[in-house]
């Protein structure tokens, strides 16, 4: 897909600045992943600083996993500032459904028009109130089980909704795209899913500056992850070696290789 190539090239050309308000387990891998793809990370959680910075960044990531009360207040301020500044922001509702504080926060900020929601199937079902969520951060539902909830969510929020799984599905009101690739080792490395949210933010910023759609940006991010996972899987024998090979692949893979390595199906 030419849109994927253009967006990934534009990430390198424009170095989008991604404001990451993310959970305490994953800032380091998230920052390294953003640097590898050609974007610039910023981790700013203090509420007043977050409010200011969200209006200056190219995109904002809100990841509600394992945060503290002060960070949650910063998220509210940052989302409000991003909406006012027309800065695209992405919601990653980590382990939403069974945990009341983060579930309430995710549903609250959802009213502020995210550009995209990126989650596994159980998190999508938990966000929409159709289940109690998964087993912590792990999905207990298949991707196909969350398609109806994802379609309802994109209609109600206007956001592009991406469901991660063996085949990722990206849904917007008039499009559905499936992306297949990656490695069975990817779920064994902490932070791969959370860092995907940050890459979605970078790719949406790059898509908008290239006058392409948010849906195209979300597809480009997932295709890049799938392609890099496929390349890393050829070299790695275990999770630690996969982590290194995968970040290296994110840095070295060419945009035209991404569309050859990741199976992208539009419907």
> Which residues belong to the annotated binding site for ATP?
118, 164
Closest CA to 40 of 56, 62, 64, 63: 56
The DSSP secondary structure of 215-254, one letter per residue, reads: HHHHHHHHHHHHHHHHHHHTT-SSHHHHHHHHHHHHHH--
- Euclidean distance between CA atoms 183 and 160, whole angstroms: 24
DSSP run (H or E) holding 5:
helix 2-14
Question: Quick check: 72 and 32 in contact, CB under 8 A?
Answer: no
Binding residues: 43, 118, 164, 191
Closest CA to 59 of 201, 210, 219: 201
Binding residues for substrate: 43, 191
- Euclidean distance between CA atoms 174 and 250, whole angstroms: 30
- Euclidean distance between CA atoms 227 and 85, whole angstroms: 33
Other residues' Cβ atoms within 10 Å of the Cβ of residue 225: 29
Closest CA to 134 of 168, 177, 164: 164
Give Rg (Cα) of the chain.
Answer: 16
**HSE of 21 in the Cβ direction (CA atoms, 13 Å)?**
34
3-state class (DSSP) for residue 177: strand
């Amino acid at each position: 897909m030419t849109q994927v190539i253009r967006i990934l090239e534009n990430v390198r050309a424009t170095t989008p600045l991604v404001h990451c308000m993310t959970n305490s387990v994953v800032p380091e891998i998230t920052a390294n992943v953003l640097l590898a793809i050609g974007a610039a990370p910023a981790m700013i959680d203090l509420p007043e600083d977050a409010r200011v910075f969200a209006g200056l960044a190219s995109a904002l990531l809100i990841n509600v996993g394992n945060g503290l009360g002060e960070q949650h207040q910063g998220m509210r301020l940052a989302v409000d500032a991003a909406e006012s500044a027309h800065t695209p922001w992405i919601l990653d509702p980590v382990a939403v459904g069974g945990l009341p504080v983060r579930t309430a926060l995710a549903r609250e900020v959802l009213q502020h028009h995210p550009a995209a929601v990126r989650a596994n199937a159980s998190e999508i079902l938990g966000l929409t109130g159709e289940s109690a969520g998964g087993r912590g951060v792990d999905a207990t539902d298949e991707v196909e089980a969350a398609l109806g909830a994802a379609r309802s969510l994109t209609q109600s929020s206007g956001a592009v909704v991406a469901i991660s799984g063996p085949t990722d599905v990206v849904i917007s009101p008039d499009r559905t795209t499936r992306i297949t690739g990656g490695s069975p080792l990817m779920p064994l490395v902490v932070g791969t899913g959370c860092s995907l949210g940050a890459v979605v933010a970078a790719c949406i910023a790059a898509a908008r500056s290239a006058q392409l759609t948010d849906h195209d940006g979300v597809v480009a991010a997932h295709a890049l992850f799938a392609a890099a996972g496929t390349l890393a899987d050829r070299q790695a024998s275990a999770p630690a070696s996969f982590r290194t090979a995968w970040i290296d692949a994110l840095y070295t893979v060419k945009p035209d290789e991404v569309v050859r390595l990741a199976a992208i199906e539009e419907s």
